[in-house]
Chains A and B, each alone.
Chain A
Amino acid sequence: MTFAAIEEWQVSAPEGAPAGALVVAPPNLDAVARVLGWASEVGRPVLPWGGGTRMGPSGGVVPEVVVLTSQLTRVVDWQPDDLTLVVEAGALVDDVEAMLAERQQSAVLAERANGSTIGGMIASGASGYRRLRYGPTRDRILETVMASGDGRVFTSGGRVVKNVTGYDIPRLACGSLGSLGIIGQVCLKLWPVPESAATLDVTVDAFDGLYRPMALLETEDGAMAYLAGTAEEVAGQAAAVGAHAQPGLQWPMPLGGDVQIELRVPSPLTSAAVTQLRNAGATEFRAQHGIGLVAAEFDSWSSERLEELRTWAEGQGGAAVVLASPQSDIDRWGQAPGSVDLQRRVKAAFDPRRIMVPGRLPGGV
């Protein structure tokens, strides 16, 4: 493999990509592996790129190669009766969910994905609001086919809904932020979409009275409970809390500002996290009650404010994560976990030359 061979896959840089980097869109996963093998050989830092929607602060090292998954968009195998879907990583979440909706199924990925890809969603470890009912995204990744940092294509997991064959690398890939390699294809566990759904205007106090809601959200505009199930169940629960119910799941608009911080705390502390963020001057926020995730938007950047939030969240056993910041070299994570040495070794197992987004994980891993 020479530089010239890769050049034929070169494309123009997507918006927001680091200036001056070589941007390639390999036609298949083998080709992705060859790019990574070459980058390993020559020691060039690589940034995988899906929809470019969840990139976050870059973490310091400037990537010299950007690998797009835009050519990997096939739906490989959908087995509605098995509730499994095999799809390539570059497929858009919205497209996939629209297809699944035709058979009343869902991969339960983030709502309002706005151009995010399946691979990007998984690599960033993002889950939808409905994780309260269905669990986080990582519970639904049954199989991955990846190209490792040193250019090997390997499969892990299996295309069945229950499996303990070998180590759970699909789960490890989820939230790995591209640090191990590039996810080329995944098998996802699907859920049937319940026949009926409603969005309830409630107060936070009413959350406790609901049985297994889809999501419990609080925003600057108030609290909302999301129910789904049989028509009788949804109507019965809505009546029980005496709330106004709109049909369907009316999700709030995603946050969009340049300054976003997310607090991750044990779930009983969700309201406390909201208070912390409000006191810190958040203009908008999305709090997931029952989960302990609160993302907030700010008008302006302040390092002191971040430090204060971090001190509080870390004191609760959680974290304050920078989702977006005008400062690209900002410390996205705060205090690294105690397992940072082990994390470093795990990364090295897949990326021995340390070319995959070096420094993007906590502790500079």
Chain B
Amino acid sequence: MTLAADLRLVLGADRVLDHPLDLQIYAKDAGVTPGTVAAVVFPETTQEVAAVVRIAVVHEVPIVARGAGTGLSGGAVPTRPGLVVALTRLNQIWEVDEAAHTAWVGPGVINLELSQHTTPLGLHYAPDPSSQSACTIGGNVGTNAGGPHCLAEGSTVSHILAVELVTAGGDVLLLGGAAPDPIGLDLVGVVVGSEGTMGLVTKVLVKLTENAPEVRTLLLAFPTIEAAAETVSSVVAGGIVPAALELMDRPMIEAVENFKSCGFPLDAAAVLIAEVAGHPAAVEAEAQLVADAGAAAGATEIRIAATAAERDLIWLGRKSAFGAVAYAAPDYYLHDTVVPRTRLVEAMSGIYEIGERYGISMLNVFHAGDGNLHPLVAFDAKEPGMLEKVRAAADEMVKLSIEVGGALSGEHGIGLEKRDLMGEMFSAVDLDAQARLRDAFDPIGILNPDKVLPEGSRCFDFGLVANLDPESAA
């Protein structure tokens, strides 16, 4: 029997798509690279996911898990004709434990809707990627997603206590638990951020965070990027970790104002959005500290949002950034690299230089507090050679980030996009260790192959013999 026929036996006709049109529809996520799809399935239970995995194993078809398809690194796109397992229907909020501040949810639950669901309890789910109105918890687990508020609260992995995992063999495992420090190896931490290469997550126990009793949002305008970056450093050096520290450069300010008019100062070279949250007594003092740091660095304007509406307007500006670019240009390529906070200025000027050299227009908005850069290239893919140019510039930017001590990706994931750049950061031995870890989870290489690790990660094998050779050891 064919793959689709076997799948239909388990799921029925309605929940298996294999018409060429559907396969094209599923060939892309929010990234720029299309893939090839063999079939798409919509399981509704853990058991169905397990059954689907076993069928794929029999047919030797790669399995790619997919949530809302808002990923930017191609993680949800099969590279060879693969089975896309859409986990969107596993969207139940099973249980919210108010006392423990936890919730069991399906991977298809939408990030923002989980927080909306727990708002009456004074709780929220802290990681807030810009796509949070659409992206799913399962997708967040896959990429270890971040967001502006991860500066103080940590990325997704810090908020996942347990997962139910369907393994490459079709078994169902519970990893982690509601109790602290589950015994044995911490496999939850391996699964989070593994981009569907370690198994399919069918249930998630998330940690919920108490809503801050008081929040202050500030908008600071600066005559130079350097002054804004200096403020970031001195705020952090000053002993506080704000809830968020976001930086936007002039081209981005202009694009946002064109799109949504949030009242951002158009004459500034950069604006910094800072948010402090916590106990009312602390928030007042910390907001002042941020304002003072800004003033000392030469801020031309310091606004402290007085009302919820003013705060919302500032965040609307920040969260509209990608939309603003989408509005202004037919295509965009959104980068994601991290550098040490102290190397921000250096990295930024390098990135501007690369942009100029390639003649591409670039806008910047990023999580300055944790050095997570998001240069955004606006372009038209229909212009011949443009996409190649944009990609080449992207590679240079990533390499620059590594040179100043950074990493390939802060929150979007490696996926397909940066797989071949892994060697910039890791040696053959390092990659081999990662490949072995992956093989422990997926010995047959059926889960999202061609992602995360570059080809040849495993063929490195210097093994014991070389290591024991006194000549080479010396």
Which residues of A are interface residues toward B (Cβ below 8 A)?
A: 1-2, 5, 30, 33-34, 37-38, 40-41, 79-84, 104, 125, 127, 135-136, 138-139, 148, 150-156, 158-169, 171-172, 174-176, 179, 191-195, 211-212, 229-230, 232-233, 235-237, 264-268, 291-293, 313, 316-319, 321, 333-334, 336-340, 342-343, 345-350, 361-363, 365
Find chain B residues with CB under 8 A from A267 CB: 99-101, 180
Of the residues A171, A212, A233, A264, contact of B186 by C-beta under 8 Å = A171
Of the residues B239, B279, B371, B434, contact of A237 by C-beta under 8 Å = B279
Of the residues B183, B189, B281, contact of A319 by C-beta under 8 Å = B183
CA–CA, A346 and B418, complex, Å? 25
- List the A residue with the shortest CB-CB distance to B161: A266
Query: Of residues 425 to 474 in B, which have CB atoms within 8 Å of A's CB atoms?
Result: 425-427, 429-434, 436-441, 443, 452-453, 462-464, 467-470, 473
Minimum distance in angstroms from B182 CB to a CB of chain A: 7
Of the residues A160, A191, A265, A345, contact of B407 by C-beta under 8 Å = A160
Minimum distance in angstroms from B279 CB to a CB of chain A: 5
Interchain CB contact under 8 A, A172 and B241: no
Question: Which of B2-10, B170-178, B261-269 binds A?
Answer: B170-178
Minimum distance in angstroms from B180 CB to a CB of chain A: 5
Find chain B residues with CB under 8 A from A125 CB: 181, 186
Of the residues A155, A191, A339, contact of B241 by C-beta under 8 Å = A191
Decide yes or no: A164 and B414 within 8 Å by CB, A33-B467, A159-B340, A192-B236 being known contacts.
yes
Of the residues A34, A165, A171, A319, contact of B190 by C-beta under 8 Å = A171
Find chain A residues with CB under 8 A from B473 CB: 1, 30, 34
The 4 A-B pairs at the shortest CB distance, nearest first, are namely A171-B189, A318-B179, A349-B436, A233-B282
Of the residues B99, B185, B194, B282, contact of A229 by C-beta under 8 Å = B282
Chain B 373-407: CB-based contact to A (< 8 A → 1; otherwise 0): 00000000000000000000000000000000111
Interchain CB contact under 8 A, A179 and B185: yes
CA–CA, A313 and B177, complex, Å? 13
B81 interface residue per 8 A CB criterion:
no
B237 interface residue per 8 A CB criterion:
yes
CA–CA, A148 and B430, complex, Å? 11
- List the A residue with the shortest CB-CB distance to B194: A167
Find chain A residues with CB under 8 A from B418 CB: 165
Minimum distance in angstroms from B102 CB to a CB of chain A: 8
B339 interface residue per 8 A CB criterion:
yes
Chain B 144-160: CB-based contact to A (< 8 A → 1; otherwise 0): 10100010001101100
Interchain CB contact under 8 A, B184 and A336: yes
Interface size of B in residues (CB-CB distance below 8 Å): 97
Which residues of B are interface residues toward A (Cβ below 8 A)?
A: 97, 99-102, 143-144, 146, 150, 154-155, 157-158, 167, 173-175, 177-187, 189-190, 192-194, 210, 213, 233, 236-241, 278-282, 284-286, 338-342, 367, 370-372, 405-414, 418, 422, 425-427, 429-434, 436-441, 443, 452-453, 462-464, 467-470, 473
> What are 18 of the A-B contact pairs (CB < 8 Å)?
A37-B467, A79-B340, A82-B341, A150-B464, A151-B464, A152-B429, A152-B462, A161-B338, A164-B409, A165-B422, A166-B431, A168-B190, A171-B186, A172-B190, A192-B239, A192-B240, A337-B174, A342-B173
